[in-house]
A and B are shown apart, each in its own frame.
Chain A
Amino acid sequence: MKKKKLLIQDLLGKTGNIDLQMHLVSGDRGLNKEITGSEMNRPGLTLAGFFDFFAYDRIQIFGLGETAFLNQLDPEKKRELYERFFSYSVLCCIFTHNEPPDELLVKYASDHAVPILVTKHSTTKFISLATHIIEEVFAPAVSLHGTLVEVYGIGVLLIGKSGVGKSECALELVERNHRLVADDIVEVRKIDESLLMGSGSEIIRHHLEIRGLGIINVKDLYGIGAVRNRKRIELVVLLEEWDSSKYYDRLGIDEKRYTILDLEVPFLTVPVRPGRNIPIIIETAALNQRLKKMGVYSAQDLDARIQEWIRTQEQCND
């Protein structure tokens, strides 16, 4: 597992799908300070003079209330307050509702290298968006050896030994209008307690290595529709060489689970041998997974029907 660093600067630029609509007012020298957690502080009590428990090392959110409070203070009191406020090594201050901070605060912040930012969002909206972004960075992550594809909308992680045919299977699936997410290295993040997000390593994104062909660029060959950058992992399939001494699941009544970052994902073991069309099996597994999500369990339903039939036969015989 590795830990990522998040700087204040990272919130300003492109932050994935979410736009924090934020700009910098002053304190650019402090932009390379590190954000260490997703908790934010509304400094209302602190501004009122109560400095105990002041969580200065968090992002400080100045909403309409804080701004209004500061505006009604007389200049002398304000100076005193800022003197004390910035004597702590405050991480950064963010003003919501596009409210401009007053000049004195901007000056103090600039002297103490505390970034002052203004966002167009409301306080609640901003906190929820920023928390989402920050928590994604700090989410537990692990790097797995495997191939991640999207098949009929289901994120399928193919695992198995080198050379068992994961990449070839992915290529065939792409050919059949499914999508490649990552090959070989899959970075998995646990975004919340029920969601595992998989993505590829940026440097080799959307490339496949096919024995005999070498490295190919799937995005260039098959177009933008054949790839995606990230996908939720909903099914794990282990490809392994057919071992005649091993018992493979014939019914599919009991669901097996594969654990990634303490989260359990539906799991199948598919034996590979020449003549077995693995991509079709993966396609069917993905469709079956969709059915299960909708509450339809083929194997259990068939079993129920057989049991029902046995019961009626017994009644006839009685």
Chain B
Amino acid sequence: MIEREVTIRSDAGIHARPAMMLVKEAMKYPCEVFLIKDRVEANGKSIMSVLALAITKGSRLIVRAVGDEEDLAVSSIVHLIEKEF
């Protein structure tokens, strides 16, 4: 299991389109991906799950991956969040 924490800096937060980008990135890897906000865990491969987290500007998010290619998954998702949102 690998995890890293990131802070969301985008004003818009993670609404439908950014959530889709996140899920798309997570789907590339065979491992399980979780996004955790305020101890609430969401499935990183499910768009509804990510949307339900209601991630806003300033939210601290833990990206966790468990399984094959977990280190790659975490680093690419964290990179995406840092770059895009």
How distant is the Cα of A143 from the Cα of B53 in the complex, in angstroms?
Answer: 12
Q: Which residues of A contact B21 (CB under 8 A)?
A: none
From A2, A143, A215, contact of B48 by CB (8 A): A215
Residue of B nearest to A205 (CB): B52
The reply to whether B46 and A145 contact each other, CB–CB distance below 8 Å, is yes
Q: Mask for B33-65, Cβ within 8 A of A = 1, else 0? A: 000001111110111110110100000000000
The count of chain B contact residues (Cβ–Cβ below 8 Å) is 15
The reply to whether A203 and B40 contact each other, CB–CB distance below 8 Å, is no
Return B61 CB to nearest CB of chain A, in Å.
Answer: 16
- Check if A201 is an interface residue, CB within 8 A of chain B: yes
The reply to whether A209 and B52 contact each other, CB–CB distance below 8 Å, is no
Task: Give the interface SS of chain B, mostly helix, strand, loop or mixed.
Answer: mixed
Given contacts A2-B38, A2-B40, A143-B41, are A162 and B46 in contact (CB under 8 A)? yes
How distant is the Cα of A209 from the Cα of B49 in the complex, in angstroms?
Answer: 10
- Check if A204 is an interface residue, CB within 8 A of chain B: yes
- Check if A207 is an interface residue, CB within 8 A of chain B: yes
The reply to whether A204 and B43 contact each other, CB–CB distance below 8 Å, is no
Interface residues on A, range: 10 to 19
The reply to whether A185 and B48 contact each other, CB–CB distance below 8 Å, is yes
From B39, B41, B42, B47, contact of A209 by CB (8 A): B47
- Check if A234 is an interface residue, CB within 8 A of chain B: no
- Check if A184 is an interface residue, CB within 8 A of chain B: yes
Given contacts A145-B46, A209-B46, are A184 and B39 in contact (CB under 8 A)? no
Return B68 CB to nearest CB of chain A, in Å.
Answer: 14
The reply to whether A203 and B46 contact each other, CB–CB distance below 8 Å, is no
- Check if A150 is an interface residue, CB within 8 A of chain B: no
Q: Mask for A115-159, Cβ within 8 A of B = 1, else 0? A: 000000000000000000000000000010100000000000000
Residue of B nearest to A214 (CB): B47
The reply to whether B45 and A204 contact each other, CB–CB distance below 8 Å, is no
The reply to whether B49 and A215 contact each other, CB–CB distance below 8 Å, is no
**CB contact list, A193-252 vs B, under 8 A:** 201, 203-204, 207-209, 215
The reply to whether B48 and A183 contact each other, CB–CB distance below 8 Å, is yes
Residue of B nearest to A142 (CB): B41
How distant is the Cα of A208 from the Cα of B40 in the complex, in angstroms?
Answer: 20
How distant is the Cα of A209 from the Cα of B43 in the complex, in angstroms?
Answer: 14
- Among B16, B38, B43, B48, the most chain A Cβ lie within 10 Å of the Cβ of B48
Query: In the complex, given contacts A184-B43, A201-B52, what are 9 additional A-B residue pairs having Cβ atoms less than 8 angstroms apart?
Result: A185-B49, A203-B51, A203-B52, A204-B48, A204-B51, A207-B48, A209-B47, A215-B16, A215-B48
Some 20 contacts from A to B, beta carbons below 8 A apart, are A2-B38, A2-B39, A162-B46, A183-B48, A184-B43, A184-B46, A184-B48, A184-B49, A184-B52, A185-B42, A185-B48, A185-B49, A201-B52, A203-B51, A204-B48, A207-B48, A209-B46, A215-B16, A215-B47, A215-B48
* 3 closest residue pairs by CB, A with B: A184-B48, A201-B52, A204-B52
